[in-house]
Structure 1
Amino acid sequence: MSKARARFYRHEAKLRRNICATRTATMKCPSIRNLSAAVALAIVNFVHPAAHAADALPTLHANPSRTSVSGLSSGAFMAVQYAVAYSSSVVGLGVIAGGPYNCAFVNIGGVVTCMSGEPSGSMSLAAAEGFASVGQIDPVAGLAKFKVYVFGGTKDRYVHPPVVAATRDFFQAAGVPPRHLAYVNKMPAGHAFIAPAFGNACGTNAAPYIDHCPENGKGKNYDQPKAILEQIYGPLNPPADTLSSIVQPFDQSAFAGDGTSMDSVGFVYIPRECSADASGCAVHVVFHGCRQGAQSVGSDVYASVGYNRWADTNRLIILYPQAVTSQPIPANPEGCWDWWGYTGPTFQVQSGVQLSAVKSMVDRLTAPK
C-alpha cells in the first residue's frame, strides 16, 4: 500500500469520530445508517482495503473564466496571492483572517506586523502594480472586477482586526466597488472557518480551526461557505441534503515536487453533474490554514466545513490543495502556505512554486476540449 493511500485511509477513519466529537448539545451524533449517502460511503470505503488510490486529477473542461478562491489564515494570504497573480481568470475570493498582498515584504516588521500590527493596504497595491509592470503577475486593473468577501473574528488571537482591515483597504484601493466588497468584522469568532454544523464553540482558537457561530437574529448558525460563494457567484440554489458524490484524493505530486512543502495527495469534490458535463461548472479553490491540512486534521476541512453541499447544487468543483510540514528546507514546521518567502523570493508571483502548482491544477480542471 502506498504512503499516500494509507494517509487517506487514516483521514477517513477520523471522519465519524470528528463528527460526533464536535456535535453541540442540540446536534445528535448520527449512526452510519443515518449519515448522508456520501459520508456513509466515505466511511465504508475506509474499511475497504482497495479503495481510494490517489489517481490523477481529471481533465474536466470546466469554465476557465469563473474560477474563485478562498482560505483561512495562511490560506487566506494564499487566496489573495492567487487572485492577484492570476486576476484575469479569477472572478472573486473569500479571505478569512488574512492580510493583503505581499504583506510581509512591504511592511516594517514583516510577519509580525502582518499578524498583529497595522499593515498598509495601499503599500500592498503598490507592490502588485510593480510586479504587474514587469509581467510577473496579471494586470492589476483586473482586480476591480472581483467580488470579495473579507472576514475577521473579534476573538481571533492570531490575526488581529487591523490586519483584516488592511485587506479590505487593499481591495478598495484596487477599485472594487462597495457593493462587491463584503466586510464581516463583528462576529465573536476565533481563528477559524465558520461552519454551520461542525467544529468548536464560537470564539475558539484551537484545532481543527473550525468554529460554529450563531447568526445574530436568525436563530441558526452562520454558514460561511454560503456567504463566500453567494458573494462571488450571486444567489445560490439550496444546498444538497445528500451529496451526489464523494471527496476524491488525487496525486498532487504531479504538480508539486520536492522543495514546495506541498503534500503528495490533494483532494477534490466533483458533483455528479460536473463529472458528466463540466462545461457549465466553475472551480473554487479552498486553501486550508496552518496546522490545518489533511496531515494535521484529517478530513475536517475538505469534508466538514460545508463547501461541498453548496457546490453540489450550484455546479461548482471544489479543489482542496494541500500544504504539508517540512524541515529544514523549506522551513515550514506548521504546514502553512507560503506568504512570507520560505520557498523563495518569488512566492507571491506566477513563477512561485506553490502558486504555479495550484494554477496547474486549476488548468487541468478547466482545460479546453
Structure 2
Amino acid sequence: MPALGIDIKETSVSGLSSGAFMTSQVYIVFSDIMKGAGIVAGGPYYCAGSWSFNTYLQNATGACMNPLTPSVGPNVPALLAKTQQLSKAGSIDPTTNLSDDHIYMFSGTQDTTVTTMVMDANYQYLTQLGVPAANIEYIKNVAAGHAFITDSKSDTSCGLTQPPYINYCPPTEQADAIIQQIYADEGPVNPPAASASGELLQVDQKAFLPTAMTSMSDNAYLYVPKSCEQGGCRLHIALHGCEQGYKVIGDQYYSTTGYNEMADTNKLVILYPQAEPSQGAGKPYNPKGCWDFWGYSATNPANPDFYTRDAPQLKAIKAMIDRLAQPVQ
C-alpha cells in the first residue's frame, strides 16, 4: 500500500448492501475524518442490535433487510441511544462531527432485499443524530432492483436483482451522484472523465488485517489518478456488497462502477477494500463474502464487536486509511 499523503480530514465512504451497512459503520465510527457517505440499500449503524430479544444475525437478516412493518424494522430510538453511549465512552468518534456532513441515500422501488422501509429508518436515524436534512439527498423513486446503479448499457436491466448487482438505470450514474453530494460544499464537482487514465493497483490488504478471522481478502484495490501520485488528494472508500468481491465478480466493482472516472477529475484516490466468502473449520461463516454488520468476524462470539474502532474489519480499514495519509516517500 503506497503512502500518498491524502488529506485524511477529506475522507468519505460509500457502499451497496452489506457495503452500505459497513459504510454506516465506517462513517459513524470514524466521523472525525469523514466528509460524508453514500448509502445504497443499507440500514443504520448498529442495526443488528435493534431488538434485544433477537440475535444479531436475526436482526440483520430480518429487521434490517425486509421487515413486515416499521414497528419490527430498525429500532431507531435504541440505535440512537446506543450510538450516543458509544460516543460518550470513546468507542466511536463524537457524534457532533456529523453536523456539517453531506449524505447520499438511494433505495430502488423494486428492491425487496433491503427495502425502502429500512432506508427510511436510516434517514430518520441520521437526521435525529445530527445530519441536517438539507444535507441529505435521498432518492427513492427509481424502479431499480438491489444493485449499484450505472449508466452503462452493458449492465443488468434496472429493475432486476441478480449478480453482479450492477444495474443500468439511465440517467443515474451513482458514483457521480455520490461524489457530487458528499463534496457539494467545496465548490463545483467536476463531471467524470470519458475514461479512466490513472493507475489501478492491487495492494496488500493482508498486512492490515488484525486477525485471521476477518473474512477479508489478501488483496485490495486502489485507484490513483496521475494528479494524486505526489500527494494532496482526498480519499473515497468504495465498499462492494455481498457476492461482489474480486473473488466472485473479478474487476467489475472496482473497474466499471464509475468511481475511477470521477477520481480522475476531482483529485480523489479510491480505495476498494475486499471481503471474501469464507466458511468451514476455523473460518468465520460468511459464505457470500458480505461485510460484517452482525458479528461474524468478532474474536469474542459471546459479545461480538463489529461496530467500534476495535472491530476487526473497521480496524483494518482505518489502518489502510492511515497508511494512505502518510507522506509520499
Residue aligning to 1:19 = none
Separation in 1, partners of 2:195, 2:40: 27
Q: Please state if 1:201 is matched with 2:157.
A: yes
Measure the CA separation in 1 of the matches of 2:79 and 2:104. Answer: 18
What do you get for the CA RMSD once the two structures are aligned? 1.2
1:147 corresponds in structure 2 to 102
Find the residue that maps to 1:65 and give its secondary structure.
helix
Instruction: Confirm or deny: 8 A CA contact 2:50 2:76 kept in the other structure.
Output: no
CA distance in 1, matches of 2:140, 2:195: 32
C-alpha separation in 2, matches of 1:121 and 1:61: 38
Mapped contact 1:121–1:173 kept (Cα < 8 A): no
1:90 paired with 2:43, answer no
CA contact (8 A) 1:159 1:191 kept: yes
> Which one of 233, 237, 249 corresponds to residue 285 of structure 1?
237
Q: Which moved more, 1:243-252 or 1:354-363?
A: 243-252
Whether the 8 Å contact between 1:287 and 1:321 is mirrored in structure 2 is yes
Structure 1 distance, partners of 2:272, 2:27, is 16
Counterpart secondary structure, 1:262: coil
CA displacement at 1:127 relative to structure 2: 1.3
Measure, in 1, the Cα distance between the counterparts of 2:13 and 2:48.
21
Give the Cα–Cα distance (whole angstroms) in 1 for the partners of residues 15 and 113 of structure 2. Answer: 15
Equivalent residues, number: 305
1:227 counterpart SS class: helix
Q: 44, 58, 82: which one pairs with 1:100?
A: 44
Equivalent in 331, 335, 343 of residue 285 of structure 2: 331
Q: Read off the aligned partner of 1:162 and give its amino acid letter.
A: M
Q: Does 1:250 align with 2:203?
A: yes
SS for the counterpart of 1:113 is coil
Contact 1:193 1:224 in 2 (8 A): yes
Amino acid of the residue matched to residue 99 of structure 2?
A: A
Aligned-pair CA distance for 1:144: 2.0
Give the deviation of 1:227 after TM superposition: 0.7
Flag the structure with larger Rg. Answer: 1
Question: Within the alignment, does 1:353 sit opposite 2:316 as a pair?
Answer: no
- Aligned AA for 2:228? C
**Aligned-residue offset at 1:115:** 0.4
CA displacement at 1:347 relative to structure 2: 0.8
Checking the alignment, whether the CA contact within 8 Å between 1:122 and 1:169 is kept in structure 2 is: no
Alignment of 1:119-138 (within 5 A): 119-138=74-93
Please, which of 134, 158, 175 is the counterpart of residue 225 of structure 1?
175
Task: Note the 1:27-106 alignment, pairs <5 A.
Answer: 57-106=1-50
Gaps of 5+ in 2: 68-72, 299-303
- State the shift of 1:368 in Å: 4.6
Distance 2:199 2:110 in 1: 34
C-alpha distance in 1 between matches for 2:327 and 2:199 = 25
Aligned partner of 2:63 in structure 1 is 113
Contact 1:283 / 1:317 at 8 angstroms: preserved in 2?
yes
Distance 2:99 2:82 in 1: 16
Q: What amino acid maps onto 2:65 in structure 1?
A: M
Aligned positions of 1:154-165 closer than 5 A: 154-165=109-120
- Separation in 1, partners of 2:112, 2:85: 32
One-letter code aligned to 1:106: S
Amino acid in the other structure paired with 1:260: T
CA drift of 1:364 comes to 0.8
Aligned to 2:301: none
- The TM-score, its normalising length taken from structure 2, stands at 0.90
| Counterpart amino acid of residue 133 in structure 1 | K
CA contact (8 A) 2:95 2:130 kept: no
**How many percent of aligned residue pairs carry the same amino acid?**
42
